[in-house]
Amino acid sequence: MDIVLINPLYPRYESNMFASALAASLDMPPLGLLYIAANLEKYGYTVKVYDFNLSTEQEIEQISNEIFQSNPKIIGLSVSTPNYNYAVTYSKKIREKLGQRCKIIFGGYHVSFLPDECLAESAADIVVLGEGEHIFVELADKIIRKKGSALEEKQGIAFINENGEIYNRNAHLLRIDDLNSLPFPDRSLLPMERYKTPATVMGSRGCVARCDFCASGAWGGIKLRSPENIVAELWELKREFDFEHICFIDNTFTANRERTYQVADAIAASGLDFTYSLETRVSNVDDSLVEKLKQMNTIAVQFGVETGNDQVMKDIQKDITLDRVYKAVETCLKHGLRVMCTFIIGHPTDTSETIQDTVNAIRKIKRMGGQAKIEMLTPYPGTPVFLNRDKKGLIIKDWNYDHWGATTSPVFETKNFTQRQLQKRFIEAVMEVNTI
């Protein structure tokens, strides 16, 4: 076996009324790993992909034995903040079983922004910063086929050099300029039937916004796939699976209006009979756009609203107003779309009063016919709220990454709340929302 790619186990938070966006994301296949795998296969490498979140601890032990027996040359792990501790622990198990004959590569949001952290713990040999499809092939060429430039000459990686020093002189976030050049994700490498939301499609990467709490904006500007390329992937899904619904996972599907119309027209003209859900911004929505989304058989949209207070909206760089939110919700509902609005509690300038404003905004949206859910803020590495936390008066009190993503428990305090006070206020808000 050449390469094994792993989605490490996330902490298994209790699934209840506080079920988080993180829990929802685990109901989807790790599309990034399937993209990397497909590109490696394109260049002749044998690859296996494992999503540990589908398995029990006993099953993971059995899978691990299979992995170690196959003696892969490279094991890559997709690392986010909540699964960082598990990834570090598992990497040490890899080293114990396979020694230096297997190179360990970490990638993902968390390590892209904090590469030195895991290298200092000797958790990885190499950290990929940013989008990994192309650089992973270069690394495989160097490690397995012994060809290509030295690691010191490659862009977008950090690693431990021969002197035992962290080397990241050329480190910067890698972006794929031409998304159409990538092969479609190899979904045959994972059991799609095990996921609640198996049919996910990435029509773009990056985000046009720079919201305070979001790492997607910190990743960089938006990159778009062509309508023809998207439709070609949809036809592949139609041929190979029995999916009925497609979830576009773009941060903002409608970021470019002209291109949105082109995608909608291409899908409508294709004869495909999927239904679709997607995320957009309220500032993009009007009757014309919603009618176009309906023509491509969109049935549900999600808006990131994040707060019910216009001043907090400005503080978090959201660049929308509540009046615009209500208008967008009304427009979508009028055209028969289901609407979900997401909110966050725990912004640095949140007070008990602004949190009540958020509850009131949710009350209004639900009475209009929309749905809403609340998350606790998590100051993920790379986000403005993390990078500027001292200036914003946000103090991180819990650096155990297992807790970063737990819906009810803040890992920080603000100038207006202690951890305990914020947790109490959050639970009160959720309980009130659930009675509406």
What was the pLDDT predicted at 209?
Answer: 83
The answer to whether the CB of 204 falls within 8 A of the CB of 248 is: no
pLDDT at 24: 67
Grouping H, G, I as helix, E, B as strand and the rest as coil, residue 432 is helix
- Number of other CB atoms surrounding residue 367 within 10 Å: 9
- Report d(CA 93, CA 89) in Å as an integer: 7
- Give yes or no for residue 30 having a pLDDT over 60: yes
Measured CA to CA, the distance from residue 366 to residue 379 in angstroms comes to: 28
The tokens for 366 are: 């639900």
Q: CATH 3.20.20.70 in the chain, residues?
A: 199-434
Q: Where in the chain is the domain with CATH 3.40.50.280?
A: 3-167
pTM of the model: 0.95
- DSSP 8-state code for residue 130: B
At residue 31, the pLDDT reads: 97
Give the model confidence (pLDDT) of 387-402 as tens digits.
999 999 999 999 999 9
Residue 408 CA to residue 289 CA, distance in Å, equals 36
Ordered DSSP codes for 47-93: EEEEEGGGS-HHHHHHHHHHHHHT--SEEEEE--STTHHHHHHHHHH
pLDDT of residue 20: 61
Q: Candidates 1.20.1250.20, 1.20.120.330, 3.10.180.10, 3.40.50.280; correct CATH number of 3-167?
A: 3.40.50.280
Q: Write out pLDDT tens, residues 122-160.
A: 899 999 999 999 999 999 999 999 999 999 999 999 998
Query: Per residue in 75-125, pLDDT tens?
Result: 999 999 999 999 999 999 999 999 999 999 999 999 999 999 999 998 999
Superfamily of domain 199-434: Aldolase class I (3.20.20.70)
Q: Which positions ≥6 away from 367 have C-beta within 8 Å?
A: 436
Mean pLDDT of the chain: 94
pLDDT tens across 307-336, in order? 999 999 999 999 999 999 999 999 999 999
- Spatial distance between the Cα atoms of 307 and 107, rounded to a whole number of angstroms: 31
| pLDDT, tens only, 174-198 | 999 999 999 999 999 999 999 999 9
CB atoms within 10 A of CB 430: 21
In angstroms, the CA 389 to CA 72 distance is: 41
Q: Which residues contact 361 (CB under 8 A, 6 or more apart)?
A: 305, 307, 308, 322, 325, 343
pLDDT at position 168, please?
A: 81
Question: By the 8 A CB rule, do 210 and 70 touch?
Answer: no
Q: Cα(311)–Cα(302) distance, rounded to whole angstroms? A: 22
Contacts of 92 (CB under 8 A, 6+ apart): 123
Is residue 132 within 8 A of residue 116, CB to CB? The reply is no
> Is it the case that residue 19 has pLDDT exceeding 60?
no
| Residue linked to tokens 């941060």 | 251
